Amino acid sequence: MVTMNHLSVEDPDDGSPLLPEAAEAPTPTRVCHRQQMVTNTDRGEFFLSRTENLSFSLVLLIGCYLAILIPAYFPLNKVTSPSDDHPYPKDLVLLNQSASLLSGPCHPRWCLNHLKPLSCSAGLLNIPVFVQQDGPVPWDLSPPLGLQGSEEHLALALASLPQPGLPSSLRGEGSCRRCVVVGSGGVLYGSHLGSHIDQYDIIIRLNNAPVPGFERDAGSRTTIRLIYPEGAPHSANEYKKTAMVALVVFKSLDLDWLTSVITKQPLSFWSKLWFWREVVDDIPLRPENFRILHPEIIHKTGQVLQSYALKQGNMLPTLGASAVVMALQLCDQISLAGFGYDMQHPEARLHYYEAIRMAAMKAQVVHDVSAEKLFLRDLVAAGAVIDLTGAL
């Protein structure tokens, strides 16, 4: 019998082995013992302790929270300037109508006289414009329809305002005033109405709709900018030709924000967390240039819109519709520019200053834009307001 203790196969050319030399087999019991030790170790590392589990859950919760907030704090749709995309007006007929309107005389009480045929006219008149609280006022509704539950916050905000009521510059006693409410609609893009808008006595704008870079279509002056904290422009340039900022209160913290902006006392980090997007810390205007929009404007606008809505309940109007009702309290003649969502063309531009398309409006469920369009159409049909951009 032949016993082979060593086996090696060598290449005939260079003498190197083609197969490795056989290694001595390890003891089976030792291998099994080592495998059992590894298994026990892995099992201990897999299960987390209570402290580790709590830490992991907090990290996961914060991660989900940031995933929701980051798109709001850092919007993906950047503001874009129209530059030379529309070197000529896209509708000369509308531009000529606007020029003809401005060249004629101002007619006192024009809006009020043309509102009378409308069944909703009674709910649109004699509404206070700004909050001026000389004594305790019993608020029946909470923000934004009232200020119930926000009385202490309101008192602090009013204390920071040198002139909380309607300023003399907006009373217009004995004079006829023309007003224009500038919406953010994409229909304003390429209109070349900027020089016309600047000729109005009162120019009302909404939230962070930009002016610098869009003067050709949107004008350059602002008499009143209606905002809530999350919608306030962050650039100081947006306030250069602004006479007044009026806060629309949606929550008690909004009043604290206004007090902070006026007094230059910053809000706490904890307070800022309750805003749904980053808010501006400073607005370069004097304290006398701030006001608080009276919640009755929002309330009455919502009540009127209810008659146009399919669903019953408290209606929350957009700032655009609310601004029109506010203008009815201040102005003899009212024009609208940049109003009217064309939902039949989802590819159309939603805003005049960015590339978001009309289809994005289908995702919002807060406002009834269809009811608002019917309401504004009735105002235009009655001759109470003029639609400069022709989308209503």
Residue 12 located in a structural domain: no
Question: Whole-angstrom Cα distance, residue 128 to residue 176?
Answer: 20
The predicted structure's pLDDT at residue 67? 54
Residue 151 located in a structural domain: yes
Residue 56 located in a structural domain: no
Which residues are CB-neighbours of 353 under 8 A, at least 6 positions away? 79, 80, 81, 184, 189, 209, 210, 214, 218
Q: What is the pLDDT of residues 248-297, one digit of tens each?
A: 999 999 999 999 999 999 999 999 999 999 999 999 999 999 999 999 99
Confidence tier at 47 by pLDDT (50, 70, 90): low
Residue 37 located in a structural domain: no
97 pLDDT higher than 70: yes
Residue 309 located in a structural domain: yes
**How many structural domains comprise the chain?**
1
Name the burial class of residue 58, with classes exposed (0-12), middle (13-18) and buried (19+) by CB atoms within 10 angstroms of its CB. exposed
The predicted structure's pLDDT at residue 173? 76
Residue 229 located in a structural domain: yes
The predicted structure's pLDDT at residue 137? 75
Residue 258 located in a structural domain: yes
Q: Is 57 helix (H, G, I), strand (E, B) or coil?
A: helix
Q: How far from the centroid of its chain's Cα atoms is residue 145's Cα? A: 19
pTM: 0.78
Confidence tier at 234 by pLDDT (50, 70, 90): very high
Neighbours of 334 (CB within 10 A): 23
CATH number of the domain bearing residue 301? 3.90.1480.20
Residue 186 located in a structural domain: yes
Domain of residue 139, residue span = 92-387
The predicted structure's pLDDT at residue 387? 97
Q: Which residue, 16, 2, 22, 323, is CA-closest to 185?
A: 323
Q: In what order do the strands lie in the sheet with 178-182?
A: 290-292, 245-247, 224-227, 202-206, 178-182, 333-337, 385-387
Confidence tier at 91 by pLDDT (50, 70, 90): confident
